[in-house]
Amino acid sequence: VFSHLFCLQHDEDVNEIHFALKSESCIEDHCFSEATLKLDKLLKFDHPEIGQKIINATKKIKRLK
């Protein structure tokens, strides 16, 4: 059903999150770093460490083949 599958491994080997996107809404592999920078600009938290944790998590997203 979905042609774009992704995985986010959080907390080393403990938690692994799998998710999928439709073809027309998919982000290309080379655009993840740019998307992370845009997300960083959009996140405005009273505690910057929360936003940094989210940004760090987005850097761990990997495409499954």
> In tens digits, what is the pLDDT along the chain, a chain of 65 residues?
787 888 888 777 678 888 888 776 666 767 777 777 787 778 777 778 887 888 888 888 888 86
Sign of CA dihedral 28, 30, 34, 40: positive
Q: Are 10 and 60 in contact (CB under 8 A)?
A: yes
Q: Is the whole model's pTM more than 0.75, yes or no?
A: no
Token output for 46: 């009273």
pLDDT recorded at residue 24: 66
Max alpha carbon distance in the chain (Å)?
Answer: 40
Alpha helix ranges (H) inside 6-62: 32-42, 48-58
What's the structural domain count of the chain? 1
For Cα atoms 6, 10, 15, give the angle at the middle one, nearest 5 degrees.
90
Residue 12 is part of which domain span?
A: 4-64
